[in-house]
Structure 1
């Protein structure tokens, strides 16, 4: 982490049994923090003893109410979250659940952007048309969380090259980037293709 970024500290740790709609379950030690740079109520879900691993698997998952909770098929967020929890429960590691709805623009703005996408804009064009950043996420708090957990080197479970670049600039060593599965459907294919073409996501789409 850069010297200008203040340290965060662990606030509370509580064990939570997790259950998904398909019946899969796991148990995570869920950690909250004091002193996060953006003041957000982000949480870390810890599986096993990642601080004892050379480069534990870490998933930085941005909150998606529509996908994570309601199963929206306009994105791949829900399936990515489900996949991450299963992989982390098997291998050990950390899920950083970051309160950055809509790539940092908020829920209402995200839904406004959906309305523009229905008129033909892609996900990034829709944000720009609303006068908002294509991707407004900052991962300073994520780096603080990892440092507070005693983790300085990771394997990053992500298709997004910006996540690794930001963490590296913040002093977290990203040993490698592990792609997630591909969760393409008829209703999210355009969204996934825009991520590949506009921001270099490593998603192997057919065709």
Structure 2
């Protein structure tokens, strides 16, 4: 899961962003409506788009893209997949086991904890929430928790959502019923937990 976003676009391009998948198109319309409502209510909303491509110059559409939504008190990333099979192949997701995905999730949280803009003595826990938004999309939001319990958001990306998706799908295969939400946490003592719902 090493690839990073080769291309970035500012929030103005969200109005021109379209999807050939009806489920993704509905999400884009819903997000635009939510942003309009937030702005009408006086909320400061900053939107950024990051494309995930395979690097080929003749690619007609991205494999997937992240929509980063920042408001006065939150930082959320919506990961939208346009080419599911090609994306999984490009990121090497085929055949990843539950144990491997959980280890990747722990590593992602450890990296976020090390990069936290907080005094290590003040950092109590790093948490990640991931939730399905549709058949080809998911939401992720991360935050560090300090000693007095205050959250400090950090930016997430497609790596967080794809790792969470693998864990959710593996749990579904094991248990026979769907899971839609994952909450992962890593505390300052190295204790790692995952809750599914």
Normalised TM-score (structure 2)? 0.29
Write 1 or 2 for the structure with the bigger share of strand: 2
- TM-score, normalised to structure 1, is 0.28
